[in-house]
Structure 1
Amino acid sequence: MARRTREEAEQTRCRILDTAEALFSTHGVSRTTLATIAGAAGLTRGAVYWHFVDKLDLYRAMLDRIIPHFDTRRNELQQAAAHDPAQALWRFSNTLLSSVAQDPRLQRVLQVIFLRTEHVDELAPVQEQCVAKMREAHFTLTQILLAAQARGQLQPHVQPVMAAQSLQALHDGLLRIWLADAQRFDLAHDTPALLSSLYHGLFKAEVLEQLSPRP
């Protein structure tokens, strides 16, 4: 009986989060109240407050559902880079973007983060978390590019720290544009072409020839 109660509680929690994601992505975070979420989920306000202290708590729980996906991609990058930094980075960039194109939840939550949220007032604490994640991503990219430089894979003029900034900006920019206007390009199909120009500026021609699929 206790197990069933826990399962039911978890189902209710997921229901609230699913509803919040949909409403946030449609109406924006600031214009969506917990009362609105409760009504749309067919629950009482008390049920929502039993699971989440406030909107900030719910918003963070929404982020927590997608963070493991990106942590997994980063861990895969770090492991693969020990063998071949250039190939590992190329696969990471392609997988990072194409995985969003194939996952509605990732699309919905990233749309909320990029296009439907102002990290001010009650959501101001989230900004620090987002900045920390961005810095963590930049550090990882820098380390991989430094490893590529040590193996002689980078063009002589490339500075790993600056290159990591550019690559991170390309990832984020392509996602923002596609989430705002999916008709602009096919993210799942066009990813290699979208990344190609920057990669040709970063890596030596002989290294690019060995990447699969080729940029």
Structure 2
Amino acid sequence: MNTMRRTKEEATATRELLLDCAELAFVRHGVARTTLQDIANAAGLTRGAIYHHFTDKPALIEAMLARIDLPLEHALTAMEAQGDTDPVAQLRQFALEPLALLQRDEHARRVFTILLHRMEFAGDTAQLLARQQATLADCRGRCERLFMAAQRAGQLPDGRPPRQAALALIAIISGLLSLATLDDDPGPACLAAPAAVDALLAGLRTGTPRTPATPV
């Protein structure tokens, strides 16, 4: 039994090592330019060892994604668990949580960097783009409902369309996530996040919607 347990632990450790090496290789060289042999070499293992755990590169990428929380999915799950007791506070937390995740979880930061900047979504990886698009749609819908709840609660004035407010918040989050993953240090983007989100929410509280300009 001890031998079986040790063998299983060794297999798990090998799998984790391969995933760690894959993250680093994809960040440095991109997904398209990295082969499974490159990852095996980085781990000090044979090509057969990596194929024992992953049938191909898409399977490895799926395993890489499975062991982390993606920022927006993580924030969405946390927000859904809270209810609508304080809509504006929930919107603020939703906007800041993805950046906090990237700052505290190195694996999540590397994997999200890969998704944003190191791979193209075609063929076997096209479903990853569909997954991100679905998450964005869920986030926009949830934020829109919270903005509506904030208006009903008197936290925000009625003049601003909730859909516009939700799109503006998602745009700020997406931009900050992109900045945080373009640099090895996500700190500056994370530090800027509270002020950026608070500025948007303050503008929604006090600003008057502009009348669209008449086309010339």
TM-score normalised per structure 2 = 0.83
Alpha carbons of structure 1 residues 204 and 85: separation in structure 2 relative to 1, 3 Å: farther
Q: For 1:39-61, what per-residue CA distance to the aligned partner results, in whole angstroms no more than 9, with x for missing partners?
A: 11111112211211211111122
1:173 paired to 2:168: no
Larger C-alpha radius of gyration, 1 or 2?
2
Aligned to 2:36: 34
Between stretches 31-40 and 115-124, larger displacement belongs to 115-124
What is the aligned partner in structure 2 of residue 79 from structure 1?
81
Distance of 2:145 and 2:200 partners within structure 1: 18
2:125 is matched by which residue type in structure 1?
L
Aligned with 1:190: secondary structure? helix
- Specify the code of the residue in structure 2 equivalent to 1:203: R
Question: Is the CA contact 2:40–2:47 (under 8 Å) kept in the aligned structure 1?
Answer: yes
Q: CA deviation at 1:72?
A: 4.3
Q: CA RMSD in A?
A: 2.4
Cα shift at 1:175: 1.2
TM-score with structure 1 setting the length: 0.84
Provide structure 1 residue ranges, at least 5 long, that are not aligned to the other structure: 206-215
Match of 1:58 among 57, 60, 75: 60
Matches of 1:116 and 1:154, distance apart in 2: 39
Matches within 5 A, 1:90-169: 90-169=92-171
Does the CA-based 8 Å contact 2:71-2:97 persist in structure 1? no
1: distance between equivalents of 2:127 and 2:77?
26
Query: Following TM superposition, by how much is the alpha carbon of 1:132 offset from its aligned partner in structure 2, in angstroms?
Result: 1.9
Unpaired segments ≥5 residues, structure 2: 208-216
Q: Percent identity?
A: 36
Q: What is the SS of the residue equivalent to 2:97?
A: helix
Equivalents in 1 of 2:104, 2:143: separation in Å?
Answer: 23
